[in-house]
Structure 1
């Protein structure tokens, strides 16, 4: 599939010329939604680019973006790409070590910071020797006393850019024509599960090609209204909020802050919604908590219709047609129960809803489809610039990620690794020819995932090929595949399965504190902290039930025999998981080596000392005696 060779900037200027009243961006500030039309947005981006160029920014230099989703951070992103530079978004919670690694990859001409906290981070980076020529901040609160070198407010920089545009006729047209399809649209990073994250530069052609592939594959339509809440450093935000939104001219709505996303989502009621399974799980938990605190009559009506809708949805997933009774209950339930819930959580207008990143739990999947949110699953990764496979509305299954999207070729290596080729495939890891050679061959991307195609052409992803291991008896398994199914339980947030070279499988579990805490309060189980709750025998029985359900689906030689509930969550600040919550297995297995030995030695408890990193950056040690439990 060949798409027209254009840039995001050409689409931006086209929308500005053809949609004078179209809304490009809405941003909520102090409770009020502020709108920006496409002409206004294009003017903002162009003025920022003019100012950056005056500061000496150009091709080969980077603008590091520090903070949560903000309109000006997106405008800065497009502004530096207009100059053929690198837009490098980072996670808001990224540590200084992570940022220091990023700053060593390309010259950081500018750090664009959301607020005082992020400015402090940039200044600390600079003080540590990192090159950051200029720092520009969006939110001026708390910045009055700062006198650092080359520190500017967004408003100040924009005034300079507008003055330059006014004084130099033809400057805007020249800036708009600079970027070419092969120039960088974004500088992202791999998750870094096995080491430092690798730099991934995606071109305008990559991002736009992936957007058209998703459009033709039915992932979304040309006219969507979306909520920009995904981390700007995650591929999902690049693919949707920047790539597709700018290409097709969508309206992007930016919540006031992460804590108000659910409330702001209700006000926006987006038409397209994509998120990781944990976000769908968290929303389901909120719905269940709301229902549990409602009146007895409302609970009874809710369970009457929801139980029947879920049963009908399970039958539909097994290929059984809906009966007349199912359709009647669907209509009544929609007006009495489902529609009010969808309205309350901003799900009323959704036409296309997707989950991706890892497997979604069966109960969660069935719940949303029973609610009337036609949730589907997809598959993608940063190196593909977006999505490579997705379920069609008529192709929904619990265990697949759908069929390859138009323009995406798929095949398998002899080892079962998924290989992909298409317009969205990146051209290599920045400054890392060795890693590039290992991942790309004749245009084919070695995804690192193992899987297979079913008879109907749908893709099943089993897990990472690097994680295929064997027990002492030679049984082959993928830990991540089992871990994802354990996380289908609302009580389990993270899991680490251990069994390579061992006689049996064991698992270390991290409870979901919100869901488990709510269950404990409802069932009169006392606790004082996360560590205390994690060791309660009542909680252990819930975890054991979750393991039994997964064991029932596994071969006899791969069932989990023993487990331990850890006293703390796996934390990205402690290096145990990535910012996208992927397990750093080597780090976890090294850090919890005494626990693993106790699991496989027959011990009934183990004493642990774990280093934790607090929000202030300080570290401490947590000690606890953990109970090891055995499943019959």
Structure 2
């Protein structure tokens, strides 16, 4: 199959913009708990913010922005981690017809200079003094920049005080001037292609189409019947995925909380206290949760028991999947009995990590491993894997509610179409597709073709319209022997090993395929600690070579999936993980392949030199 589409579920936004929902919900249901903020005196307690209270805060800040010189059509950058004020500024800016320019909070001064200059930003909201200093370092190259507002310096209150003399009606006049086709945000790509990231023009109508479709088609899985859905936003709001989750919640009356720190030590307690009904995450988060659970079992001497629980969960989910496709009768009596036992002893504890109320979740940013998806489904948390890009306003495909097909990224969202070109490239069409790149008609013309957006990804559609992503066109490696190699197959298999955190397969124009591998710090320390205890008792050699041997076995297992010419023949363990902080991962936690190759040129040369 080369084409698949589904009819639209919702009407295209016919008037107004994204900010309207804040005022409409407050008018319709003023006491609705629209957001929740942490109690400053008790991190584990969340305080309700009603729809009316949030509307009043947005209106006050919007007046302050007008008093500060922000006008209709102006572009204002927000450089901050995910927090309440990010959402507040978004809706205040949209209330006066201004455009939001997200900037990732760990951006370098050069990256900040490029985005603020390219977008012709007139003001920037930063989180703290370090961000202010980063912007300040390039201020002399930004002649249009007139203001820097700092969240941790109480800029929200300062602006609200400055705008007290402006009548509410002035804001509403600006708001009513916003049209569906107006630009709501200029979201910059990750910068993995070309010398600089490109600014994607995302309209109010495009963002509304995305969120209204998800609210209409997936509402039944967001919470139990009669329960208000609740989502803890912890993905970066500076990335289109996180930004759209925010808009989804505000348009759908979903209780929204914010968590700025993605580290497991901070995120897991936040999930436990907030108790979301639904989780939006990336595969990395689900991998970390699974690995943490397995390490805990191993430390307690229950590794074999946990592995049996994993096997039962996967087989149970496979049988349910086959039944839903009309290919079987579902799990048998013995499997059901085993599943019931493990649900009480293992799966229930895993769900408790997510707060205890989550039964469904969404994974995006990159494809979720099929085995991992099956495990979570068998453990009682069905993950809807999806696919999208900045240019498609986040998701353009997703698993249908109640009918997941693990190992795929689902079917097109209602109102969208997917086409697989003859070379395997995925093209998409729909209201969610962006209107172009800021100030770059050549780049826009190279990807928008008669209403279709050429994604640069390659994949295939199955007979039921489910999309499978097989890689990026630009990531295909060609050895100097002429062999084409898709690195994704090897990388995904390597990542299944609990010790391996990340891997990058290399070999373009080289005699053979090799890999750079990073280890999960907690997993490797735990592994070494257990082996050291064993060696201390037996007097054997230290674990260094044993650890390398364990990774070699993982490489050998991964190689079993490919031909000899495609197999990894050498690898190097990199001491530090790739991260957003060192510029080697995108905000959506995908590897910046070119940046890693450049940063580890000496290591790669050593692999081939040896």
Question: TM over 0.5, yes or no?
Answer: yes
Q: Distance in 1 between matches of 2:58 and 2:534?
A: 54
Which of 259, 267, 272 is the aligned partner of 1:261? 267
Q: In the TM superposition, what whole-angstrom CA distance separates every residue of 1:572-598 from its partner, at most 9, and x where no partner exists?
A: 454444333433333333443343333
Give TM-score, length-normalised by structure 1.
0.85
- Whether the aligned pair in 2 keeps the contact of 1:62 and 1:107 (CA below 8 Å) is yes
- Whether the aligned pair in 1 keeps the contact of 2:425 and 2:457 (CA below 8 Å) is yes
Q: Show the counterpart of 1:158.
A: 160
Q: Show the counterpart of 1:22.
A: 32
**What is the aligned-residue RMSD (CA, Å)?**
2.7
Structure 1 residue 363: Cα displacement: 4.5
Q: Show the counterpart of 2:105.
A: 92
Q: Show the counterpart of 1:399.
A: 407
- Whether the aligned pair in 1 keeps the contact of 2:419 and 2:426 (CA below 8 Å) is yes
Q: Distance in 1 between matches of 2:339 and 2:103?
A: 44
Structure 1 residue 225: Cα displacement: 0.9
Q: Show the counterpart of 1:34.
A: 47
SS in 1 for 2:122: strand
Of 91-100 and 424-433, deviating more is 91-100
Structure 1 residue 420: Cα displacement: 0.5
Runs of at least 5 residues in structure 2 that lack an aligned partner in the other structure: 1-7, 536-541
Query: Compared with structure 1, are the counterparts of its residues 502 and 299 closer, same or farther at alpha carbon in structure 2 (3 Å cutoff)?
Result: closer
Query: Compared with structure 1, are the counterparts of its residues 387 and 546 closer, same or farther at alpha carbon in structure 2 (3 Å cutoff)?
Result: same
Runs of at least 5 residues in structure 1 that lack an aligned partner in the other structure: 141-151, 528-533, 604-632
Q: Distance in 1 between matches of 2:367 and 2:260?
A: 30
Q: Show the counterpart of 1:247.
A: 251
Query: Compared with structure 1, are the counterparts of its residues 22 and 364 closer, same or farther at alpha carbon in structure 2 (3 Å cutoff)?
Result: same
SS in 2 for 1:580: coil
Of 253-262 and 501-510, deviating more is 253-262
Q: Distance in 1 between matches of 2:180 and 2:235?
A: 25
Q: Distance in 2 between matches of 1:586 and 1:173?
A: 47
Q: Show the counterpart of 1:567.
A: 575
Q: In the TM superposition, what whole-angstrom CA distance separates every residue of 1:421-478 from its partner, at most 9, and x where no partner exists?
A: 1001001011111111111112110101011111222111111112233333433222
SS in 2 for 1:104: helix
Q: Show the counterpart of 1:611.
A: none
Structure 1 residue 308: Cα displacement: 3.0
- The count of corresponding residues between Structure 1 and Structure 2 is 578
Q: Show the counterpart of 1:288.
A: 294
Query: Compared with structure 1, are the counterparts of its residues 525 and 236 closer, same or farther at alpha carbon in structure 2 (3 Å cutoff)?
Result: farther
Q: Distance in 1 between matches of 2:52 and 2:565?
A: 63
Work out which structure has the larger RCO, using CA pairs closer than 8 Å and 6 or more positions apart in sequence.
2
SS in 2 for 1:108: coil
Structure 1 residue 203: Cα displacement: 0.8
Query: Compared with structure 1, are the counterparts of its residues 535 and 423 closer, same or farther at alpha carbon in structure 2 (3 Å cutoff)?
Result: farther
Q: Show the counterpart of 2:235.
A: 230
Q: In the TM superposition, what whole-angstrom CA distance separates every residue of 1:360-396 from its partner, at most 9, and x where no partner exists?
A: 3344333322221112311111111121111225543
| Structural mapping, 1:25-174, within 5 Å | 25-28=35-38, 29-30=40-41, 31=43, 32-126=45-139, 131-140=144-153, 153-161=155-163, 163-165=164-166, 168=167, 170-174=169-173
Q: Distance in 2 between matches of 1:184 and 1:231?
A: 21
- Whether the aligned pair in 2 keeps the contact of 1:499 and 1:506 (CA below 8 Å) is yes
Q: Show the counterpart of 1:184.
A: 183
- Whether the aligned pair in 2 keeps the contact of 1:309 and 1:326 (CA below 8 Å) is no
Q: Does 1:329 align with 2:338?
A: yes
Q: In the TM superposition, what whole-angstrom CA distance separates every residue of 1:282-338 from its partner, at most 9, and x where no partner exists?
A: 1222223333445x6x87876665543344334545665201222233334333442
- Whether the aligned pair in 2 keeps the contact of 1:9 and 1:179 (CA below 8 Å) is no
Q: Does 1:510 align with 2:518?
A: yes
- Whether the aligned pair in 2 keeps the contact of 1:57 and 1:85 (CA below 8 Å) is yes
Q: Distance in 2 between matches of 1:593 and 1:535?
A: 28
Query: Compared with structure 1, are the counterparts of its residues 587 and 139 closer, same or farther at alpha carbon in structure 2 (3 Å cutoff)?
Result: closer
SS in 2 for 1:97: helix
- Whether the aligned pair in 2 keeps the contact of 1:494 and 1:569 (CA below 8 Å) is yes
Q: Distance in 2 between matches of 1:256 and 1:474?
A: 46
Q: Distance in 1 between matches of 2:306 and 2:569?
A: 38
Q: Distance in 2 between matches of 1:597 and 1:137?
A: 45
Q: Distance in 2 between matches of 1:540 and 1:316?
A: 39
Q: Show the counterpart of 1:625.
A: none
| Structural mapping, 1:478-557, within 5 Å | 478-524=486-532, 536-557=544-565
Query: Compared with structure 1, are the counterparts of its residues 572 and 341 closer, same or farther at alpha carbon in structure 2 (3 Å cutoff)?
Result: closer
Give TM-score, length-normalised by structure 2.
0.88
Q: Distance in 1 between matches of 2:176 and 2:404?
A: 43
Structure 1 residue 507: Cα displacement: 1.2
SS in 2 for 1:60: coil
SS in 2 for 1:546: helix
Q: Show the counterpart of 2:19.
A: 9
